[in-house]
Structure 1
Amino acid sequence: MTGNPPDYELADRLALTEPAQVRAVGHPLRTTILQLLHERAATVTELATAVGRPKSTVAHHIGVLTRTGLVQVVRTRQVRAIQERFYGRTARVFFVAPEPSQAQDFPRDFNDFEIAAKESAVAYEQGKLWGFIRHARISADQAAQFWDRMAELVEEFDRLPRTGETTYGFAVGVYPTDHPTLPEKS
């Protein structure tokens, strides 16, 4: 497939502002479904086949994603007496953007890096993991500006044509740490 995936119209970005939305993307199967729908719209049957799970399980998770506004029906087709629904994402990129007053309501167990660590273990063992970790003492404003640049890179990654044989993960983050710093010069 060439061009910008997927094969239906969708927004570029959607801020996840509700705890239910964050919980929805925090489930590994729902994350996988969203990733598959980034390639093209799909039916519950197609998704169930791709993930090797029962249709009823996938239908449940599609329901959660639909109720939280992350997935929608993008087209239908008549198959005998049944109206078959094709589901698609509502945006290319989802990002967590809680209001400061709501931050305490968000699930504490949602961590993209935990998922990335689990997914990357096999690649690490096979010598196929590319990664960096860096620390820099910068201002909050600089961190926010850097994050905006990283978000652009994530969007570029999401827009790549789905033409390869291997699915690659891409994890990025900016976070405060208690990494040691040198004292001020005397």
Structure 2
Amino acid sequence: MADNPPDYELADRLALTTPAQVKAIGHPLRTTILQLLHERAATVTELAAAVERPKSTVAHHVEVLTQNGLLQVVRTRKVRAIEERFYGRTARMFYVAAEPSPTGEEMPGDFNDFEVAARESARAFGQGKLWGFIRHARISEDQASQFWHRIAELVDEFDRMPRSGEIMYGFAIGIYPTDHPALPPAQ
């Protein structure tokens, strides 16, 4: 598949290894900023216009993301003697590292992509435009891990799709252990 978005170089994946990084992506406005930058690099002014928030508010959140290694300046241009900075993501996909933080700090446990997806999808559900599945399967941890790698490839494909159309679609996917009941082994 062609690498369409975004219009700057970035790593494919970045492990979030510190609590500060996880907290940085846990804020809804910062998540929105990161999502917008999947399309192209943008200035704080452009981001503020897109999210309809004050430039100072957006600048603060961009700074938090930059300090935590999630955003970087990908290019600059002079506009009336002022250097305008274009920000881009440092990776297409961020994930919380499974290993403990190098500082020994405990990672936040309150970051939940599905909570965000549930909030975002409520209106689509009400309009009859929410497509979704939930399935349960008794599989080994190794099978779950292998399946997760395939899921990550699908997420990467979604991230790289050419940007077109007028509607922004969300895509939520995951795999997790549950207490869902299971039949006993067959006799």
Is TM-score (shorter-chain normalized) higher than 0.5?
A: yes
Query: Given residue 145 of structure 1, which amino acid in structure 2 is its aligned partner?
Result: Q
**Counterpart position of 2:90:** 90
1:106-185 alignment runs, 5 A limit: 106-185=107-186
Query: Given residue 173 of structure 2, which amino acid in structure 1 is its aligned partner?
Result: V
Post-superposition offset of 1:182? 1.2
Instruction: Specify every segment of 5 or more residues in structure 1 that has no aligned partner in the other structure, as ranges.
Output: none
SS at match of 1:15: strand
SS at match of 2:185: coil
Q: Are 2:33 and 1:20 equivalent residues in the alignment?
A: no
- Between the two proteins, the alignment pairs up a number of residues equal to 185
Post-superposition offset of 1:100? 4.5
SS at match of 1:53: coil
TM-score, L = length of structure 1:
0.95
Change (3 A) 1:10 1:3: closer
Instruction: Specify every segment of 5 or more residues in structure 2 that has no aligned partner in the other structure, as ranges.
Output: none
**Does the 8 Å CA contact 1:44/1:59 hold for their aligned counterparts?**
yes
**Does the 8 Å CA contact 1:17/1:96 hold for their aligned counterparts?**
yes
Query: Given residue 178 of structure 1, which amino acid in structure 2 is its aligned partner?
Result: D
**Counterpart position of 1:73:** 73
**Does the 8 Å CA contact 2:16/2:22 hold for their aligned counterparts?**
yes
Q: Are 2:32 and 1:37 equivalent residues in the alignment?
A: no
Post-superposition offset of 1:12? 1.0
Looking at structure 2, the residues matched to 89 and 97 of structure 1 have their Cα atoms a distance apart, in angstroms, of: 18
Looking at structure 1, the residues matched to 91 and 76 of structure 2 have their Cα atoms a distance apart, in angstroms, of: 19
Post-superposition offset of 1:3? 5.5
Looking at structure 1, the residues matched to 77 and 146 of structure 2 have their Cα atoms a distance apart, in angstroms, of: 45
**Counterpart position of 1:7:** 7
Query: Given residue 170 of structure 1, which amino acid in structure 2 is its aligned partner?
Result: F
**Does the 8 Å CA contact 2:42/2:88 hold for their aligned counterparts?**
yes
Query: Given residue 78 of structure 1, which amino acid in structure 2 is its aligned partner?
Result: K
Point out 4+ residue stretches in structure 1 off by more than 6 angstroms: 101-104
SS at match of 2:162: coil
Query: Given residue 54 of structure 2, which amino acid in structure 1 is its aligned partner?
Result: P
**Counterpart position of 1:63:** 63
**Does the 8 Å CA contact 1:16/1:98 hold for their aligned counterparts?**
no
TM-score, L = length of structure 2:
0.94
